[in-house]
Amino acid sequence: MSEYDLYEVLKVNPTASLEEIKRSYHSLVKQWHPDKLDCNSAENDVASAIYDRIDKAWQTLSKDELRKKYDQQRREVKVRQEYPINDDVDIDDMEYHEDGNYSYDCRCGGCYIISENNLEAGIDIAPCTTCTLAVRVLYSVINDSDGDNCPV
């Protein structure tokens, strides 16, 4: 994951359409492309670095699959920042529920809950329902006979 937010680089909202992202990209390229600027060497280096970020953001956010992967990583980073990781818990130690969720008791009396969908999407952080702690769920994904990914 990048050290900077690709949506911020392109000055768009994470819910922006591809057309909005494209418009912003073209506007920023016109503004920051090193060949379009009349500046000294040091300023050109800065402009080149900014242009490279803009181009990298476009290369990721303009492709549906890459954008989905980036959004997933972005959500995971946000969860990790919001919830301190208290422990690592193996999925085999969690209780499975018919609704597709796994749960594990927290020391505060609440419980950590994570869905199969989150695990299949690569999100492995389960926040507590009561306190600010979270656990990292240890699991592996296998393909079942239908070709679907299943956490185990």
Q: Please give the average pLDDT of every successive group of 10 residues along the chain, which has 152 residues.
A: 84 96 95 76 78 95 94 79 83 94 94 89 86 88 55 54
Token representation of residue 147: 């070709």
Distance between CA 55 and CA 25 in Å, rounded? Answer: 8
- The pTM assigned to this predicted structure is 0.56
Distance between CA 95 and CA 1 in Å, rounded? Answer: 31
Residue 2, pLDDT score: 58
Note the pLDDT tens digit of each residue in 36-46. Answer: 777 666 677 78
Closest CA to 80 of 21, 25, 122: 122
Cα distances from 143 to residues 47, 91, 117, 140, in angstroms, run 46, 17, 14, 10
In the chain, what are the domains?
6-72 (1.10.287.110), 84-151 (3.10.660.10)
